[in-house]
């Protein structure tokens, strides 16, 4: 008996089967030790209670873990190895019913005991191939606006079958194994995650398991991701057309009326009601910045109504009836049940904060709003476009006096009289405010990410995509991501707690398409859509310069060299201005205070300090204000300079503009004095009327009206759009395009005269 037991254990010993498994935690009988299965499929001892709780939470939120070597599926049969009894090697094994029989009793080939079993397996394989094909119809991953994608978050339909497999597995050898069937399924692995399916057009299939093995790489451990980055608890319940309230990501102090434009996996694309869809943006379904209809009114926040509505006249009930739309149910908003942790921060308190758009600047700031466990940071005397939400543990905020203590330069509020001798005590007294207490600031623990680890990341240049990525570099609170197969010039830094990074398998579990690494052949082949010359670009996600316009040119490609480092391609949604292309001294509420807020020496010093932090900050040297002004040119203006000498030249300093403005005004009197911010609000009829008012362009107004080009789209047009797409001759096209440039020049000129 001893010999038999020894022989059996020597041939197959499953350490998992001798443990009691519950909620992902294994207990060894007769011992107090507790174990978990780590991301590599190996057993790991749990050392503290907090780790055990995190394991239980992860177990409750995902149905996938990396399989163990003994539990991995056979590629040929799809049957677990352990179902084949090594003591019965002389018999044939049926892959469907898992029974043994003699060679005479089995069909030819020996894989099935009957025609029914063979037919059952064949039908099952065909069904799986159809399901895989449906899930991968997306290589144009522009998800449907009409039909909600199928989610695999909780594959309820498969669980019954899996439980039956578990029962057969456990009853083999006449014994019942202890442990949670659900936990065993998790350890075994979900083929939908390990294998992303068969790509269309006969391309080679791609899966994380094979890729990690080929690259000899490891995935970022799931435990390093925050709750909002990891596998979600629930399915995405948002549907196209639902309306809600939310924060504008480019103006984080502004709450807007939003509509769900697309649903893809656990992500939604949101549209600003009344504005061009070029401002649409993607977020996760559990984003903290989303709120149900009526939230602003209930909490006392100002809601910016859709374009064309007056704030005092806007009413949600009337608006929903007018639009025949549905408000998103309150149950879909994860932030409705947040436990608020007591904080030492209060509205009106002062602090020192990093400007995220110019990371080398640390500036005087104020807490201007608080929602749940987050608060809004506003930079004193700056405009609201630099505001951002953060928590007490954010590495971007510091208590009053931090810069002095760490010998860093503090950027004082623009217009403050004592720039060189700024005193916090005097400033607090002048503003009748209190500093945020030092105890309110919490220290964020190290993120734990390491170089060469793999993960899934939203592509910021084309946010509809989530790509396979590698951690290229790290610093205290950020990681530098590299998209596998792409040139290193597309790498960029991102906060380690950003909601745009996810663990391996996130896309498959949430039903979102994952863009596999580009092969060398794919990198060199031209765009399937035709027209885009950027290597690796499929022609998907190109900028729409105007309605019904926008050829696949390099100017419209998010990956082209001219757009590579631009954060903004379109004019600001609210102001109508195109933000600076690179880091410059921040805009203020009063344009003339730029130069008084900080001397060139201070700004140069900040540029030097920025060099110490990262490559990204090395590239963002801050220049004196008179140089910065010359650098803030719109893309269309720069293109115009190259195309024709007829157009306005902004190479000369801004002070030269009045003379040129006067000359151009004589040629086009109807354009004089009209700023771009006013033009951006024109309707299609107003644009058409303006075109007809230009000399020699009377007959072209109808063309603009037919194409439904409003003021916003008009300002985005290029000379090529007007000539080639609108089929307008060069002479009238020059006048039309020149008027666009003059509108933008008038906008700049008016700001400089303030």
pLDDT digits (tens, 9 = 90+) for 686-735: 899 888 888 888 888 888 888 888 888 888 888 888 887 788 888 888 88
**Both structure tokens of 570:** 């379109």
Other beta carbons less than 10 A from residue 259's beta carbon: 20
Per-residue pLDDT for 86 more than 70?
A: no
Per-residue pLDDT for 550 more than 60?
A: no
Tell me, what's the pLDDT at 493?
94
Strand 251-264 to 303-304 pairing: parallel
Please tell me the least confidently modeled range out of 483-497, 631-645, 735-749: 631-645
Per-residue pLDDT for 603 more than 50?
A: no
Other beta carbons less than 10 A from residue 480's beta carbon: 20
Please tell me the least confidently modeled range out of 81-95, 100-114, 156-170, 435-449: 156-170
Task: Name the pLDDT band for 524 (thresholds 50, 70, 90).
Answer: low
* C-alpha torsion sign, points 230, 231, 233, 238: positive
Residues 6 or more apart whose Cβ sits within 8 Å of residue 214: none
Strand 43-45 to 34-37 pairing: antiparallel
Q: What is the mean pLDDT of residues 81-105?
A: 54
Contact in structure between 530 and 552 (CB atoms under 8 Å)? yes
Most confident of the ranges 63-72, 133-142, 181-190, 452-461: 452-461
Q: Does residue 743 sit in helix, strand or coil?
A: helix
Closest CA to 607 of 406, 358, 357: 358
Q: pLDDT digits over 552-591, tens only?
A: 556 667 777 767 777 666 778 887 776 654 444 445 543 3
Helix or strand holding residue 243 (H, E): strand 243-248
Contact in structure between 220 and 504 (CB atoms under 8 Å)? yes
Tell me, what's the pLDDT at 670?
63
CA–CA separation, 749 and 743 (whole Å): 10
Tell me, what's the pLDDT at 251?
94
Which pTM value belongs to this model?
0.57
Residue whose pair of structure tokens reads 């600003």 in the numeric block: 272
Q: pLDDT digits over 316-366, tens only?
A: 999 999 999 999 999 999 877 788 888 899 999 999 999 998 888 999 999
Tell me, what's the pLDDT at 694?
87
Q: pLDDT digits over 396-428, tens only?
A: 999 999 999 999 999 999 888 877 789 999 999
* C-alpha torsion sign, points 46, 51, 56, 59: negative
Tell me, what's the pLDDT at 168?
43
Q: Does residue 549 sit in helix, strand or coil?
A: coil
Q: How many C-alpha atoms does 340 have within 13 Å on its Cβ side?
A: 10
Tell me, what's the pLDDT at 699?
86
Closest CA to 60 of 282, 220, 234, 198: 234
Helices 635-643, 730-752: inter-axial angle, 10-degree rounding? 130
CA–CA separation, 529 and 200 (whole Å): 16
Per-residue pLDDT for 223 more than 70?
A: yes
Q: How many C-alpha atoms does 216 have within 13 Å on its Cβ side?
A: 0
CA–CA separation, 112 and 263 (whole Å): 43
CA–CA separation, 91 and 674 (whole Å): 89
- What's the full length of the chain, in residues? 754
Q: Give CA torsion, residues 251, 335, 313, 685, to 10 deg.
A: 50
CA–CA separation, 230 and 151 (whole Å): 16
Q: DSSP letter string over 246-296?
A: EEETTEEEEEEEEEEEEEETTEEEEEETTS-GGG-EEEETT-TTEE-TTHH
Tell me, what's the pLDDT at 40?
59
CA–CA separation, 339 and 350 (whole Å): 25
**Which neighbouring-strand residues pair with 375?**
370, 390
Per-residue pLDDT for 312 more than 80?
A: yes
Contact in structure between 699 and 738 (CB atoms under 8 Å)? no
Per-residue pLDDT for 615 more than 70?
A: no
For the chain, the distance separating the N- and C-terminal CA atoms, rounded to the nearest angstrom, is 97
Tell me, what's the pLDDT at 719?
83
CA–CA separation, 491 and 545 (whole Å): 26
CA–CA separation, 458 and 287 (whole Å): 15
Exposed/middle/buried for 375, CB within 10 Å: 0-12, 13-18, 19+? Answer: buried
Per-residue pLDDT for 506 more than 80?
A: yes
CA–CA separation, 386 and 413 (whole Å): 13
Answer with the residue of higher pLDDT: 189 or 90: 90
Task: Name the pLDDT band for 47 (thresholds 50, 70, 90).
Answer: confident
Contact in structure between 473 and 479 (CB atoms under 8 Å)? yes
Contact in structure between 714 and 679 (CB atoms under 8 Å)? yes
Per-residue pLDDT for 110 more than 50?
A: yes
Tell me, what's the pLDDT at 713?
85
Other beta carbons less than 10 A from residue 363's beta carbon: 25
Task: Name the pLDDT band for 647 (thresholds 50, 70, 90).
Answer: very low
pLDDT over 90, % of the chain = 35
Q: What is the mean pLDDT of residues 224-229?
A: 94
Q: What is the DSSP letter of 511?
A: T
Answer with the residue of higher pLDDT: 543 or 626: 543
Answer with the residue of higher pLDDT: 599 or 43: 43
Helix or strand holding residue 93 (H, E): strand 92-93
Q: What is the mean pLDDT of residues 216-235?
A: 94
Answer with the residue of higher pLDDT: 450 or 153: 450
Answer with the residue of higher pLDDT: 579 or 15: 15
Q: What is the DSSP letter of 419?
A: S
Answer with the residue of higher pLDDT: 705 or 204: 705
Contact in structure between 613 and 359 (CB atoms under 8 Å)? yes
**Both structure tokens of 4:** 């038999």
Task: Name the pLDDT band for 221 (thresholds 50, 70, 90).
Answer: very high
Tell me, what's the pLDDT at 20?
80
Q: pLDDT digits over 128-165, tens only?
A: 566 545 544 444 444 444 444 444 444 444 444 444 44
Q: What is the mean pLDDT of residues 282-304?
A: 95
**Which neighbouring-strand residues pair with 263?**
268
CA–CA separation, 172 and 729 (whole Å): 82
Residues of each domain in the chain carrying CATH 1.10.150.50:
633-752
Closest CA to 224 of 41, 56, 60, 447: 447
Answer with the residue of higher pLDDT: 367 or 591: 367
CA–CA separation, 81 and 95 (whole Å): 11
**Which neighbouring-strand residues pair with 398?**
352
CA–CA separation, 237 and 286 (whole Å): 10
Per-residue pLDDT for 2 more than 60?
A: no
CA–CA separation, 183 and 23 (whole Å): 7
Task: Name the pLDDT band for 542 (thresholds 50, 70, 90).
Answer: low
Q: What is the DSSP letter of 87?
A: G
Q: DSSP letter string over 368-412?
A: EEEETTEEEEEETTB-GGG-EEE-TT-TTEE-TTHHHHTT-PPBP
Closest CA to 393 of 442, 344, 447: 442
Measured in whole angstroms, the distance separating CA 89 from the mean position of its chain's CA atoms is 53
Q: Which CATH number is 633-752 given?
A: 1.10.150.50
Tell me, what's the pLDDT at 293?
96
**Both structure tokens of 752:** 């400089």
Helices 657-667, 730-752: inter-axial angle, 10-degree rounding? 140
Q: What is the mean pLDDT of residues 67-93?
A: 42
């Amino acid at each position: 008996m001893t010999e038999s037991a020894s022989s059996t254990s020597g041939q197959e010993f499953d350490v998992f089967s001798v443990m009691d498994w519950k909620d992902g935690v294994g207990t060894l009988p007769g011992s107090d030790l507790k174990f978990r299965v780590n991301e590599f499929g190996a057993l790991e001892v749990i050392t503290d209670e907090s780790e055990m709780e995190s394991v239980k939470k992860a177990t409750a939120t995902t149905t996938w873990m990396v399989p163990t070597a003994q539990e991995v599926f056979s590629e040929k049969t799809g049957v677990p190895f352990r179902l084949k009894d090594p003591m019965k090697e002389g018999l044939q094994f049926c892959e469907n019913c898992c029974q043994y029989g003699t060679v005479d009793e089995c069909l030819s080939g020996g894989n099935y005991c009957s025609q029914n079993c063979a037919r059952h397996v064949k039908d099952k394989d065909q069904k799986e191939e159809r399901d895989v094909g449906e899930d991968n119809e997306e290589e144009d991953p522009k998800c449907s606006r009409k039909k909600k994608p199928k989610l695999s978050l909780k594959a309820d339909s498969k669980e019954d079958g899996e439980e039956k497999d578990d029962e057969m597995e456990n009853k083999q050898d006449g014994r019942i194994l202890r442990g949670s069937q659900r936990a065993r399924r998790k350890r075994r692995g979900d083929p939908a995650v390990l294998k992303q399916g068969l790509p269309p057009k006969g391309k080679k299939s791609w899966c994380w398991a094979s890729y990690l093995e080929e690259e000899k790489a490891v995935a970022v451990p799931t435990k390093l991701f925050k709750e909002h980055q990891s596998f979600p608890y629930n399915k995405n319940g948002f549907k196209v057309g639902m309306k809600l309230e939310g924060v504008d990501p480019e103006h984080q102090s502004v709450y807007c009326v939003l509509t769900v434009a697309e649903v893809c996996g656990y992500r939604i694309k949101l549209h600003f009601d009344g504005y061009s869809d070029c401002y649409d943006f993607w977020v996760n379904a559990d984003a903290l910045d989303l709120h149900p209809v009526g939230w602003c009114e209930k909490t006392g926040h100002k809601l910016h109504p859709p374009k064309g509505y007056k704030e005092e006249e806007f009413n949600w009930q009337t608006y929903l009836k007018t639009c025949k739309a549905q408000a998103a149910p309150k149950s879909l908003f994860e932030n409705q049940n947040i436990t608020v942790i007591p904080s030492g921060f209060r509205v009106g308190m002062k602090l020192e904060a990093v400007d995220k758009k110019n990371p080398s600047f640390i500036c005087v700031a104020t807490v201007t709003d608080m929602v749940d466990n987050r608060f809004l940071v506003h930079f004193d005397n700056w405009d609201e476009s630099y505001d951002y939400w953060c928590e007490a543990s954010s590495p971007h905020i510091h208590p009053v006096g931090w810069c002095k203590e760490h010998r860093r330069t503090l950027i004082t509020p623009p217009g403050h009289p004592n720039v060189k001798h700024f005193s916090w005590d005097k400033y607090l007294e002048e503003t009748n405010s209190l500093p945020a207490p030092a105890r309110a600031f919490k220290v964020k623990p190290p993120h734990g990410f390491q170089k060469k680890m793999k993960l899934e990341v939203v592509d910021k240049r084309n946010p509809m995509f989530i790509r396979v990525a590698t951690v290229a570099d790290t610093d205290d609170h950020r990681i530098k991501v590299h998209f596998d197969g792409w040139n290193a010039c597309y790498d960029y830094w991102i906060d380690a707690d950003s909601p745009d990074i996810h663990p391996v398998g996130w896309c498959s579990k949430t039903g979102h398409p994952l863009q596999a690494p580009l092969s060398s052949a794919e990198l060199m082949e031209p765009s399937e859509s035709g027209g885009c010359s950027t290597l690796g670009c499929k022609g998907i996600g190109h900028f729409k310069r105007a309605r019904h316009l926008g050829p696949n040119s390099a100017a419209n490609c998010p990956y082209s060299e001219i757009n590579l480092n631009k954060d903004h391609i379109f004019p600001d949604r609210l102001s109508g201005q195109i933000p600076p292309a690179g880091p410059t001294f921040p805009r203020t509420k009063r344009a003339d205070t730029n130069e008084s807020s900080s001397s060139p020496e201070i700004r140069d010093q900040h540029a030097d300090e920025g060099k110490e932090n990262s490559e990204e900050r090395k590239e963002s040297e801050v220049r004196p204000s008179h140089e910065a002004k010359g650098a803030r040119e719109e893309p269309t203006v720069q293109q115009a300079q190259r195309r024709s000498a007829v157009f306005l030249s902004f190479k000369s300093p801004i002070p030269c503009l009045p003379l040129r403005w006067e000359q151009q005004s004589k040629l086009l009197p109807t354009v004089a004095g009209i700023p771009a911010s006013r033009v951006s609000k024109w309707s299609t009829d107003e644009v058409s009327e303006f075109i007809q008012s230009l000399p020699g362009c009377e007959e072209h107004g109808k063309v603009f009206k037919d194409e439904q080009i409003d003021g916003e789209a008009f300002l985005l047009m290029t000379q090529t759009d007007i000539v080639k797409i609108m089929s307008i001759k060069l002479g009238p096209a020059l006048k039309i395009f020149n008027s666009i440039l003059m509108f933008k020049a008038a906008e700049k000129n008016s700001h400089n005269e303030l």
